Structure 1
Amino acid sequence: MKRVILKQFIPFRQKLVVVTGLFFIGTLLNDKYNEFLGVLFYVLGILFFFVNYNLVITKGFLNYYQFRIFNISLFKIKKELLFPDYVSLFNQSFVQSNHVGFSPDILGDSKYRLYTIKFFKGHKNEILFTSKNRVEVVKLGTQLSTMFNVELHNTLK
């Protein structure tokens, strides 16, 4: 195995914030300057809903984020990771604040649990992947531990 691809998830809320900003800029440009630029920002906003990215971890440890749209690779960005002493899989709780403008407590917090893959190096750790799918996390964690010949700590059994 030469590489493991971890498909990352961009939350809808984050996409919505970016698209709203692009639409707002498009509206301003469309009204004041150039209709072409306004339409361009509208199109970019619509296309942004179809953007996703993967974390690609290679056996040579040349890791990168690969950004894609409609399954076509757009560009890559190098990603520095801890080389693991061991790989850990477990169920983790997350809290996301739902702040709106100047009223931070209006919607409260969202709490949820996800399965995670972490690299541990000494006392440091790094979350590589989160998912609601336990089987997917076990499969990818096993592939990573096999590829780097390190121990797998699986608490999901």
Structure 2
Amino acid sequence: MKENYILCKQRRALKGKIVSIIFLLFALTLFLDASKSLTIKFGFLFVSLIIIATSVYYKITPEFDNKMIYMVFGIPILKIKLDVVYPDYISIAPGKFKSDNEYSSVAALGTEEKYDMFALRFFKDNKNDKVYMSSSYEDVLEKAQWLSNVLNTEIYDATKN
């Protein structure tokens, strides 16, 4: 967490991690095949490491000039404007969240994934945007308090009810 912005790492689906590891294992097995060129072997290895090392972060600033940042090995490679609502209030809520993979490339591994997490959301009128999720309540609370201070908004903590 920095003084003038906060980074909220976005959760990566388990099935995406599994596909990345399978791709890496495939790349490593190419090294056992003497008939393949070194260019192909290292190319597959390089691509698989890039896939595994890619992370997505939301960068929230006090000026609300927010970005979605794609990082590889912690190095930003792409920044895109992040469109989230300016909150009337910030919510922390526990829950069982699920992600659907029905139409993705990992649908063969199952179409639904459920997990217990705490979510930090921005609420404005009837709209909300999920900004951060973690299994650690303290981590979510720390980010919510920082955001509440810099955005001058209230925190509604649903874990207290």
- Tell me, yes or no, whether TM beats 0.5: yes
Structure 1 residue runs of 5 or longer lacking an equivalent are: 28-33
Change (3 A) 1:73 1:96: closer
Superposition misfits of 4+ residues, deviation over 4 angstroms: 18-24, 96-100
In structure 2, the residue matched to 1:78 is: 81
Change (3 A) 1:85 1:71: same
- Equivalent of 1:147, from 150, 153, 156? 150
Within 1, Cα distance between the matches of 2:41 and 2:60? Answer: 38
Q: TM (normalized to structure 2)?
A: 0.75
Q: TM (normalized to structure 1)?
A: 0.77
Structure 2 residue runs of 5 or longer lacking an equivalent are: 31-36
User: What percent of counterpart residues are identical?
Assistant: 25
In structure 2, the residue matched to 1:4 is: 6
User: How far does residue 148 in structure 1 lie from its aligned partner after superposition?
Assistant: 0.6
Is the deviation greater in 67-76 or in 125-134?
A: 67-76
Question: Please, what is the CA RMSD of the aligned residues?
Answer: 3.3
Q: How do 1:40-51 residues align onto structure 2 when only pairs under 5 Å count?
A: 40-51=43-54
Change (3 A) 1:114 1:45: same
Change (3 A) 1:96 1:55: closer
- The alignment covers a number of residue pairs equal to 151
Deviation string for 1:68-127 (max 9, x for gaps)? Answer: 2222222211111101111010102123458753x96xxx85432210000001011111
